[in-house]
Amino acid sequence: MTAVAPVARKPMNLHRLREMHAQGEKITMLTAYDATFARLVDDAGVDCILVGDSLGMIVQGHTSTVPVTLDEMVYHTRCVARGNQTAWIVSDLPFGSYQESREQALRSCVALMQAGAHMIKLEGGGWTTEVVHFLTERGIPVCGHLGLTPQSVHALGGYRIQGRDEAGATTLRKHAAELAQAGAAMTVLELMPSAVARQVQDENPGMMVIGIGAGSGTAGQVLVLHDMLSITRGKLPRFVRNFTAEGGSAEDAVRRYVAAVKDGSFPDETLHAY
């Protein structure tokens, strides 16, 4: 019997992601910082690759993301772009690369996009709205990031759940609405009660909300690859699931992650949510 070749995936784009969101198909995202893992997660069917400044902790051994530089983000984005063939690449603006001015943010975005990024992610709400509007007007797809924003970990008093009280939840919802109005096509919500994240998604139906420790009521999910492969040492956050527990290869684990997000079995509200 002649083997049937697998159907090649078409490169992901923003239009296709929006179509998936409109049709209720969950969006999958994982981090990658090099060409080898980028190729692996792409081959396994992940929709989006996040070149996160989490590489400061995962790759470089820092205790936070703050030391990561723009040059380092450009280098890792370039590596990921070489290994990737079809996934949508989202790259982080690191601390200090966009806080000074809109013009500084634009220069940083240009460097990342010339390295291969398709979308740029920045942290925070309120003051970032003007920056997001400035960037999107100039044709740069932007992803926001609210809730636990690791670059602000010292100001937040550590890695704490955000939006637990009414005032905090109201602020998160306000900032999310402002980001959507400014043109952010996507926003990551990190470490918050699932009810708050669900509200944010419901109130901003045109924006793709990607959760990490934010429950199942979002448009999609993201995890740090090394966490879900159980490579990271030490205690992992509650929202992480070890997808290697069933055995097989790393690619098998990523395929299980993709399937679990798509069918809604991950995250499990009783195990992985707050």
CB 209 within 8 A of CB 189: yes
CB 120 within 8 A of CB 111: no
Tokens 């966009």, residue? 98
Closest to 257 measured CA to CA, from 221, 211, 232: 221
Q: Which residues pair with 89 in a beta bridge?
A: 49
Clarify whether 103 is annotated catalytic. Answer: no
Tokens 């550590």, residue? 158
CB 97 within 8 A of CB 51: no
Q: Return the ∠ at Cα 221 (arms to 234 and 164), rounded to 5°.
A: 75
List 190, 203, 246, 251, catalytic entry: 190
CB 127 within 8 A of CB 98: no
Residues 1, 46: Cα–Cα separation, whole Å: 30
Task: List the alpha helices (DSSP H) in the chain.
Answer: 14-22, 35-43, 55-58, 70-83, 102-114, 128-137, 153-156, 166-182, 194-203, 225-228, 250-263, 269-272
CB 147 within 8 A of CB 214: yes
DSSP 8-class letter at 146: E
Residues 146, 194: Cα–Cα separation, whole Å: 13
Indicate which residues carry an active-site annotation: 190
